[in-house]
Amino acid sequence: MLFGTFFLRKNERKMKIAMQ
């Protein structure tokens, strides 16, 4: 569960960068 949250957070950051 913790690992999944970490991965999701990393993915969100990548999405934010792609949006910019």
pTM greater than the 0.85 cutoff: no
Amino acid found at 6: F
Mean pLDDT, the chain, integer = 84
Looking at residue 4, its pLDDT comes to: 80
How many other CB atoms are found less than 10 A from the CB of residue 4?
Answer: 8
Looking at residue 16, its pLDDT comes to: 87
Average the pLDDT over 1-20 and give the result. Answer: 84
Q: How far apart are CA 15 and CA 1, in angstroms?
A: 21
Average the pLDDT over 1-12 and give the result. Answer: 84
**Span 11-20, pLDDT tens digits:** 999 888 887 7
Looking at residue 1, its pLDDT comes to: 62
